[in-house]
C-alpha cells in the first residue's frame, strides 16, 4: 500500500491561537471557573483535552450562543475561534463574567469588511452554513444581512449589493454562487473571504492524482473537514472516508496495491492523524495522551 501524507494538513493558525489563548487563560487564572461558549474548535478530542485543564465546554446545536450564555453564571467565559456576536459579549459583561475572545483573526477580518459595506449603504449577502457559529456571529451584525446557503435557489437580493462568504467554505462551491450572483446582478461587489489555510488544504486535495482512497481525519462537526471529504468525492477519488480517529479505520477494506492519501481538517490534532498513518503502515499506534494533545 502506498501512503501519501497530504501537505498541508491539520491545525491552522487560528486553531493554534485559540488553543494557546485557552491554555494561557488557565495559567493566568488557576483557580477560576472557565467555560467555553460552544466548542472552542470543532473537534471533540480538543474539548476533552480542555477538560483535563479544568476548562468546561457547553454546546447545544439547538441553541444560539446568546441562549447558551444563560448557563454560565460565574468566572470566565471563553468565546470560540468562530467569532462572537456583540450582543453575546454585552450580555456576558452584564452578568459580570470575565470575557476572553479567541476569535480567529480571519473571521474578525470578514466581520470588519461586512461592517464597512453596511456603513457604505450596501446590502450584504453572506454565503454560509445555517446554524454554524461563524455564520451566526455574522448574521447578528445586522438583521439586513441575507444568508445564502449552498445548493439552494438564489433568493431575490437588494442592491447595491456586496457578497462575501464564510471562511471555511469550499472554494469551488462559493465560486459557483459568486458567478450566479454576478450573472443576475452584474454590479454586485464580491469579497471572497475563504481563509488561506482552508484554501491551500482544499487545493492540496484537488491536486491529488491516481488516488484510490482519501482519508480525512476530522470531526464531522468541522465544516472544513467535511468540505475536504466533499472535495475528494467531487474530484473523482473512488473511496473517501471521513473519520474521527484510527479506531474507525477498517483495514480489511483496503488492498495491497491501493494508493491512500491522508489529510486532516484544520481543527484536528496531529496525534490523531499520526495514529491513522501508523495503523495504515501496520505499526504500533502511539497511545493518545489527552494531557499533551493541545
For residue 287, how far is the Cα from the chain centroid? 26
**180 grid coordinates:** 450566479
Q: Where are the alpha helices (DSSP H) in the chain?
A: 13-28, 44-52, 65-68, 86-94, 105-119, 133-139, 171-184, 196-206, 223-234, 270-280
Is residue 74 part of the annotated active site? The answer reads no
Q: Order of strands across the sheet with 55-58?
A: 55-58, 34-37, 76-79, 98-101
Nearest to 267 by CA among 172, 198, 196, 193: 198
33: left (phi over 0), alpha (psi -120 to 50) or beta: beta
Residue of 67, 74, 134, 193 marked catalytic = 134
Helix (H/G/I), strand (E/B), else coil: 229: helix
Q: Which residues are catalytic?
A: 134
Amino acid at each position: 500500500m502506498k501512503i501519501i501524507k497530504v501537505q498541508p494538513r491539520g491545525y491552522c493558525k487560528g486553531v493554534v491561537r485559540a488553543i494557546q489563548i485557552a491554555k494561557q487563560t488557565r495559567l493566568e487564572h488557576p483557580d477560576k471557573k472557565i467555560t467555553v461558549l460552544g466548542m472552542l474548535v470543532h473537534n471533540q478530542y480538543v474539548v476533552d483535552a480542555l477538560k483535563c485543564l479544568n476548562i468546561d465546554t457547553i454546546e447545544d446545536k439547538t441553541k444560539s450562543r446568546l441562549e447558551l450564555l444563560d448557563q454560565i453564571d460565574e468566572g470566565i467565559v471563553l468565546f470560540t475561534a468562530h467569532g462572537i456576536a456583540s450582543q453575546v459579549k454585552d450580555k456576558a459583561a452584564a452578568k459580570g463574567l470575565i470575557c476572553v475572545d479567541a476569535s480567529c483573526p480571519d473571521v474578525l477580518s470578514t466581520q470588519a469588511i461586512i461592517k464597512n459595506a453596511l456603513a457604505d449603504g450596501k446590502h450584504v449577502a453572506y454565503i454560509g452554513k445555517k446554524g454554524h457559529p461563524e455564520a451566526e456571529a455574522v448574521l447578528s451584525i445586522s438583521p439586513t444581512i441575507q444568508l445564502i446557503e449552498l445548493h439552494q435557489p438564489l433568493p431575490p437580493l437588494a442592491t447595491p449589493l456586496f457578497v462575501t462568504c464564510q471562511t471555511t467554505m469550499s472554494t469551488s462551491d462559493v465560486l459557483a454562487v459568486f458567478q450566479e450572483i454576478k450573472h443576475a446582478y452584474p454590479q454586485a461587489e464580491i469579497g471572497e473571504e475563504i481563509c488561506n489555510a482552508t484554501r491551500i488544504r482544499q487545493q492540496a486535495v484537488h491536486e491529488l492524482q491516481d488516488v484510490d482512497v482519501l482519508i480525512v481525519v476530522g470531526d464531522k462537526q468541522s465544516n472544513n473537514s467535511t468540505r475536504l471529504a466533499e472535495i475528494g468525492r467531487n474530484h473523482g477519488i473512488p473511496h473517501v472516508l471521513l473519520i474521527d480517529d484510527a479506531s474507525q479505520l477498517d483495514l480489511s477494506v483496503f488492498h495491497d496495491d491501493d494508493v491512500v492519501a491522508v489529510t486532516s481538517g484544520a481543527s484536528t490534532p496531529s496525534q490523531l492523524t499520526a495514529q491513522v498513518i501508523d495503523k495504515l503502515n501496520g505499526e504500533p499506534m502511539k497511545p493518545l495522551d489527552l494531557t499533551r494533545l493541545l
